[in-house]
Structure 1
Amino acid sequence: MNHLTEAYVDSLALNSSAIKNGKDLVKKNSFPQLCQSEDGTIIFGECKGSGKDPYQCSVDVIKEGNPVFRCTCPSRQFPCKHNLGLMYAFTSGKTFTIAPIPQDIADKREKAEKREEKQKEATATDAPAPKRKPNKSALIKKITAQLEGISIAEKLILQLVTSGLGSLDKKALQTAEEQAKQLGNYFIPGIQSALREFILLFRSEQARENVYPVSIEQLTTLHTLLKKSKEYLTSRLENPDLPIDTATTLEEWIGHAWQIAELRELSRVRNDIELLQLSFRSYSNSARGEFIDEGYWAELPSSQIHITRTYRPFRAAKYIREEDSVFQVVHAKELAVYPGELNTRVRFEDATYREAGAEDFQNIQQFASKSYPDVIKQVKNLIKNPLSDKHPVVLLHYAEIKQTETCYILLDEQGKQLPLANISYLQESTTSLLSMLAKPHLANQVMLVMFEHNWANNRLEAQPLSIIAANEVIRLLY
């Protein structure tokens, strides 16, 4: 139970409300019985509820990094507030009596162990796991519907452009949004979201002269997305045996939700990978109708920057775990890598944690880019592709952070400059925090930055996300 810390329990909770509710149960002394097994692999107890009988709850940590929660309450949240309260009681130093594991829990653990053993026996062979055979008739039906939806989207965009962006009043935008909503029946949620994002841009309170440059970029993206999607889906309709596209992010743009099982089949899963989170943010996306939790991670020791994203639909947000900042090194037993370019999206489930050490920070510093012209060239080549990530994240070594009359700049070892600014995409200010850095952090350190092309002044700008020093990460965005 040594790894069961308050920070770890916080990371298991679905959201901040669940954390508060769990801690409140401890404060109210709602646990008349608190027990743990002799070997320390399970804690269990009773928690007072609204009914006559207390809830029986337990947390089984026999597999580190993959706890099993059980509770007799009717909640659909896992872990429920009773499980969280049980763990917070443990981390706060409450007395847990040594007691035999209840028989029903022991039986469930035994069944789980047998299932796991059978799975190991099934995979303990040199032969690769058989690939799932797609249902061709279902695939053809789906692609046909997708192509139909793309045709509807093309007509809608043509209608908007033909009538003129300047004539898009409230009524026209309402009609366009209703038409975009119909695309939900055609298995192209990504295209639908891109179209809704374009429409919502004109419904924002921004002045139209500020909206037009961004809208042109979004129209270019939409045009490319529809064209490439149509070509790709048409070729798959003509030949259903063609493999799914894993060389680009096109499938994700269309709206495909990659499953870990798929990524395994496509050899896009790696084992025993360590990651250190350098920055984190949560935001809402009205076009998708979702909250998005986004983490930026350095893979150790290579320091390649990955991204994790958790999507929580507005309607179901309270049932999906809200991610948070992670300050320890994560050891992912299995890391699924999505198709991507510079900053690939990754996902992990089973993981253990350890404290970050000086060697981890030094590894990150060692692999940071030192030539700004090379980085700028790389970023420009990336973002000129309409379907590429328009906000790549890069590690930069800097010789000095310097403040001019108008902004902060980074200087590389050759004296080349990179202006720092608060980019519109993040909608959060971090550059002003640079004035609070201690003197040792103003020179010969590493900064994680996010790039954006500023359409107003037609230049590439970077916003600082964090500073990686010899013995710590100083987060400016978290």
Structure 2
Amino acid sequence: MATITEAYVDSLAPNAGAIKNGRDLVKKNSFPQLHETEDGVLLFGECAGSGKEPYRCSVDFVNEANPVFRCTCPSRQFPCKHTLGLLYARALGKTFARADIPQDIVEKRDKAEKREEKKKEAAAVPPEEASKVKRKVNKSALAKKIAVQLDGLATLEKLVLQLTQSGLGSVDKKTLQMVEEQAKQLGNHYIPGAQAGLREFVMTMQTEGDKEAVYTAAMEQLVILRALTKKGKSYLEQRAAQPEMPMDTETTLEEQLGHAWQLAELQEYGRVESDAELLQLAFTSYTDQARGEFADTGWWVDLRNGAIRVTRHLRPFRAARALREEDTFQAVVKATELFVYPGELGARVRWETATFRETEESDYGRVKSVAAASFPEVIKQVKNVIKNPLADKKPVMLVAFQSIERIGDSFILRDALGKQLPLTDFAENGRPTTPLISLLGDEERKDQAGLVMFRHDPGDNRLGVQLLSIVTDSRIVRLLY
């Protein structure tokens, strides 16, 4: 069994409140009984609760990459504070007495093993037979859904054209109410991505401040919606004519229309990589009002090939309390299966099971070795991506820099050939990072790697660059975390 550290337990908690509550149980000595099996794979015990009977809780590491949490408490939070407290007790050095595995857990393990056997039997089906089953399409249902989607896109297209022709200066409160109502109606057309885009336009137009900046941002949103309706209609019409046509796995079009990719679909389309090792370089959480959800976003480097990957944990407002809140992660993630979502730079990834190991100095050296050395080449790559209206407008890249220098009131990154990347801050990232640069030492400012985010400013037609983190030979300096 892997070493249980406080950081590891923190990473399992659904939110900060669960971390505090779990730790408090240990501080209050709420565990009169703490046990572990001879092999150390199962931790179990009793925790005093508000009733007469204590809660019986356990954490089973029979599958180290996917521990099983069990507790008799009525909490809907997972893992609950009692199982977290059990792990904190181990991490903090509390004594666990040796004991035999409880009979109820033996029975639950047996049932779990039978389920796994059935999964293995299903996996043993020849790929050609399995793919036939997966690709079977209910043509009638698909045709009906596409017809409704196309109807919604046609409505959206007319609205975008109307707003563009009349001019943003003529958009008043009454017009925005009409657009907002139209956005609600799009919820019936299976295109939540387009619906969120229209809501974002409304919120942009309601923003107080410099009108020119507001209009520029709003017009950019209309351009995106126009491109989405045009490409979306063309793609859906092709799928309607050819129901067996594979889904688009090269771009984010399906996701922008609102499709939620299932792991089985990604596996079917071959978007699964084996034995990946990922190291997180930066992390942030933000609120997406247009979609009604919180987004916990991490940027990772794949230690095998240097690719930048993104994790995005989405928590709808309505269910936020019941879902685990992600946080900055320090260890190296070892994922047996890495599911890669469609996309270009910085593809989104996900894993179901993983183990962890402590970061080593060789990992930092590996990160620095794969950083892009030429700023002009990086800029060319970024521009080739963002010229697509539906592409990620804030791609993240790993670059090698020779120095961080101050010029007047600003900072720049300079590469080995003397080329520069002027640094700035993006308000939507939540907090500035450039003020932190002055706190860095000489070591961090010279011959290191930097994780940077690009953003195209349509107002002055320039690329902005924000520094998210710095990777040295011995550590990661996180400016955004």
| TM-score, normalised relative to structure 1 | 0.97
Structure 2 match to 1:16: 16
Matches for 1:260-409 after TM superposition, within 5 Å: 260-409=263-412
Q: Check if 1:250 corresponds to 2:243.
A: no
Alignment of 1:209-248 (within 5 A): 209-248=212-251
Q: In the TM superposition, what is the alpha-carbon distance from 1:152 to its structure 2 partner?
A: 2.1
Contact 1:193-1:288 within 8 A present in 2 as well: yes
Taking every aligned residue pair, what percent have the same amino acid on both sides?
Answer: 58
1:289 Cα deviation after fit: 0.4
CA contact 1:57–1:83 (8 Å) conserved in 2: yes
Question: 1:302·1:363 contact (CA, 8 Å) conserved in 2?
Answer: no
Counterpart CA distance in 2 for 1:171 and 1:48 is 58
1:373-410: CA deviations, max 9, x gaps? 11111111211110111111111111111100131011
1:25 CA displacement: 1.9
The 1-side partners of 2:171 and 2:119 are apart by 58
- 1-side partners of 2:110 and 2:276: how far apart? 30
Other-structure match for 2:59: 59
User: What secondary structure, in the 3-state scheme, does the structure 1 residue paired with 2:114 have?
Assistant: helix
Matched residues in 1 for 2:321 and 2:100: separation? 35
Please give the alpha-carbon distance, in whole angstroms, between the structure 1 residues aligned to 2:120 and 2:69: 23
Residue 45 of structure 1 contacts residue 56 of structure 1 at CA under 8 Å; is this kept in 2? yes
Determine if contact 2:403/2:415 at 8 Å carries over to the other structure: yes
- Matching residue of 1:198: 201
Deviations 1:227-279 (A, max 9, x none): 10011111111221211111211101101010111001111111111011100
3-state SS of the aligned residue for 1:400?
Answer: strand
Q: CA deviation at 1:127?
A: 4.2
CA contact (8 A) 2:276 2:304 kept: no
Which of 361-370 and 261-270 deviates more? 361-370
Q: Distance in 2 between matches of 1:94 and 1:357?
A: 28
Equivalent residue letter for 1:144: A
- The one-letter amino acid paired with 2:73 is C
Superposed, 1:441-452 pairs within 5 Å as: 441-452=444-455
**What are the within-5 Å matches in structure 2 for residues 85-100 of structure 1?**
85-100=85-100
Unaligned runs of 5+ in 1: none
More off after superposition, 423-432 vs 458-467: 423-432
**CA distance, structure 2, for counterparts of residue 242 and residue 117 of structure 1:** 33
Q: Indicate if the aligned counterparts of 2:220 and 2:458 stay in contact, CA closer than 8 A.
A: no
Segment of structure 1 superposing worse, 160-169 or 435-444: 160-169
How many Å apart are 1:162 and its aligned residue?
A: 4.0
In the other structure, the counterpart of 2:141 is 138
- Under a length normalisation based on structure 2, what TM-score does the superposition of the two structures give? 0.96
Distance 1:127 1:338, change over 3 A: closer
Q: Deviations over 1:122-161 (max 9, x none)?
A: 4346545344222211111111111111122223323433
CA deviation after TM superposition for structure 1 residue 356, in Å: 1.3
* Secondary structure of 1:399's aligned partner: strand
Partner Cα distance (2:309, 2:2) in 1? 29
Aligned match of 1:435? 438
Shift of 1:309: 0.5
Q: Distance in 2 between matches of 1:161 and 1:439?
A: 51
1:193, 1:425 → 2: CA distance? 17
CA distance in 1, matches of 2:88, 2:108: 24
Structure 1 residues 37-88: Cα deviation after superposition (integer angstroms, max 9, x where no partner): 1111111111222333222111101211210011112222221111111111
Deviation at 1:23, TM superposition (A): 1.6
Deviates more, 1:164-173 or 1:12-21: 164-173
Matched residue of 2:438: which SS?
A: helix
Query: 1:182 corresponds to which residue?
Result: 185
Distance 2:4 2:208 in 1: 47
- Distance in 2 (CA, whole Å) between partners of 1:235 and 1:318 is 41
Residue type matched to 1:160 in 2? Answer: L
Kindly indicate whether residue 71 of structure 2 is the aligned counterpart of residue 71 of structure 1: yes
1:419-461 deviation per Cα after TM superposition (whole angstroms, max 9, x unaligned): 1111234232001111111111211111110001233433212
Residue segments in structure 2 that go unaligned for 5+ positions in a row: none
Q: Distance in 1 between matches of 2:25 and 2:443?
A: 45
Shift of 1:117: 2.9
User: Alignment length, in residue pairs?
Assistant: 478
SS of the equivalent of 2:427 reads coil
Matched residue of 1:436: which SS?
Answer: coil
For the Cα contact (< 8 Å) 2:250–2:344, is it kept in 1?
no
CA RMSD of aligned residues (A): 1.5
Contact 1:293–1:322 (Cα < 8 Å) also in 2: yes
Q: Which range moves more in the overlay, 233-242 or 311-320?
A: 233-242
Residue 101 (structure 2) aligns with: 101
8 Å Cα contact 1:41/1:61 also seen in 2: yes
- Compare 174-183 and 327-336 and name the one that shifted more: 174-183
For the structure 1 residues 122 and 147, does the alpha-carbon distance in structure 2 shift closer, same or farther, using more than 3 Å as the test?
Answer: closer
Residue 164 of structure 1: how far off its partner (Å) = 3.0
- The answer to whether the 8 Å contact 2:59/2:67 transfers is yes
Aligned-pair CA distance for 1:312: 0.5
Answer with 71-80 or 262-271: which moved more.
71-80
Aligned partners of 2:35, 2:291: CA distance in 1, in Å?
44
Partner amino acid, structure 2, of 1:20: K
1:414 partnered with 2:417? yes
- Find the counterpart in structure 2 of residue 38 from structure 1: 38
Which SS does the other structure have where 1:295 is aligned? strand
Residue aligned with 1:264, SS: helix
